[in-house]
Structure 1
Amino acid sequence: MSISHLLESFEGADQDDGGSISMSELSLEEEKLEAFERGYKAGWDDAAKAQAEDRNHLTSDFANNLQELSFTYHEASGHLARALRPVMTQIVEAVLPEIARKSFGPRIAEQLTGLALAVGKQRVEIVVAPQNIALVRGLLDEDPGFPVQLVEEPSLGAGQAYLRFGDGERQIDHDEVLSRIAKALDAFFDELKHTSEKELKHGG
């Protein structure tokens, strides 16, 4: 970028003493002007180059920071999954079965109440595992309004029961519900672990 237009020209101007500017003096001034312009242009180019380098450096730093952030996120996800899995497994294996056990009797009572109008005077068989016989027998202290027979079936689990009447049947299966929850939980944590390891392997 030239700055010659910013400088005042003294060519042809009379000196105070009435003399004229010599050719050597003009050549010297021109050389000074050219040197100044070269220096100015070099400075401008250096500034532009430095600005471009700074911009590239910032872009590179930003990309690196994003990559590190992604790595940290997936690493944290992996740690969180490993920390939570034992806790959630404990809940599924200990807490939920206890809740299911306590709700087993009320669930059967609820089904019997619902059958009152459906079965009329038909006999209803309540089929449960041996360990649940005493529990269910306690539910039959009050007459449900239809004949009930309690049947012991060793092949059933602690959370399973069948209510059979005529050609109909209703099933209670807390064991199956708990099994599905456990499988879903395992699948969730396995997928989370796989995704985290895959992202870390490929650098986020």
Structure 2
Amino acid sequence: MRKAMLRLEVFETAAPDEEPLLDAEAAEKLRVQAYEQGYGAGWQDALQQMRDEDALREGAALEALQAISFTYNEAHAALEASFLSLTESLIETLVPEIMRLSLPGLVLESLQQAAARPARSPLALYCAPTARPALEHVVAAVPGIEIQLLEEPSYTEAQVALRVDDHQKTIDLDAVITQLRDAFAQQMAIKNIREA
């Protein structure tokens, strides 16, 4: 049995008596030049990385600013809608109740002013039949003047009229509420036109 033999290739190297291709001074210059090129390339890479990071930060800041602006607009719209809803609720529920409760005080003030002036005839106070019990206490609180408390079926609890001689003063809190409703409706119409 024959064994196959591998043939190896031999590479010749320079003979020890030949001069090296680079002397020590040229090798040092080459090393310094390679170092400086590497150092410069490192600085270029660092500067580029800084530019890239700055661009990323700037992009992120712009996105955040746009998100804040969008969020502000959304929050402003939601707050405005809540405020308008609250205002409408106040006009429809709370204001009428406040007006009803404030009517006796307004009537008392008007009666006191009328009592301070001389009059030829008694003062007539017209009110809704349901408002009479509350106003009887008010009439009793104004001594020294004759006051007739008369029921007017067409009046609401937020309406009264005071008549003495040729003068009449009307307190109509329903009209105030209607004016508030109209003003609110007008503002809503203006807002809707602006948004359209």
**Under TM normalisation by the shorter chain, which class is it?**
0.5 to 0.7
Structure 2 residue aligned with 1:163:
162
Structure 2 residue aligned with 1:71:
70
- Residue type of the alignment partner of 1:32: R
SS at match of 1:118: coil
Query: CA, structure 1 residues 97+31, in 2 after alignment: closer, same or farther (shift >3 Å)?
Result: same
Q: Is the 8 A contact 2:136 2:149 kept in 1?
A: yes
Deviates more, 1:116-125 or 1:65-74: 116-125
Q: So what's the TM-score if we normalise by structure 1?
A: 0.62
Structure 1 residue aligned with 2:42:
43
Structure 1 residue aligned with 2:59:
60
For 2:60 and 2:193, the matched residues in 1 are separated by 29
Q: Is the 8 A contact 1:127 1:162 kept in 2?
A: yes
Which residues of structure 1 form unaligned runs of 5+? Answer: 1-21, 199-204
Structure 1 residue aligned with 2:8:
none
1:178 aligns with 2:172: no
- Larger RCO (CA within 8 A; separation ≥ 6): 1
| Sequence identity percentage | 27
For 2:42 and 2:34, the matched residues in 1 are separated by 12
Structure 2 residue aligned with 1:3:
none
1:34 aligns with 2:37: no
Query: Which structure has the larger Rg over C-alpha atoms?
Result: 2
1:112 aligns with 2:93: no
Which residues of structure 2 form unaligned runs of 5+? Answer: 1-20
Give 1:36 deviation, angstroms.
1.5
SS at match of 2:144: coil
**Equivalent residues in 2 for 1:118-157 (5 A)?**
118-128=117-127, 132=131, 136=135, 139-141=138-140, 144-150=143-149
Query: CA, structure 1 residues 121+146, in 2 after alignment: closer, same or farther (shift >3 Å)?
Result: farther
Deviates more, 1:36-45 or 1:102-111: 102-111
- Residue type of the alignment partner of 1:76: A
Give 1:68 deviation, angstroms.
0.8
SS at match of 2:145: coil
Q: Is the 8 A contact 1:122 1:146 kept in 2?
A: no
For 2:190 and 2:62, the matched residues in 1 are separated by 28
What is the RMSD of the two structures over their aligned residues, measured on CA atoms? 3.9
Q: Is the 8 A contact 1:128 1:153 kept in 2?
A: yes
- Residue type of the alignment partner of 2:62: A
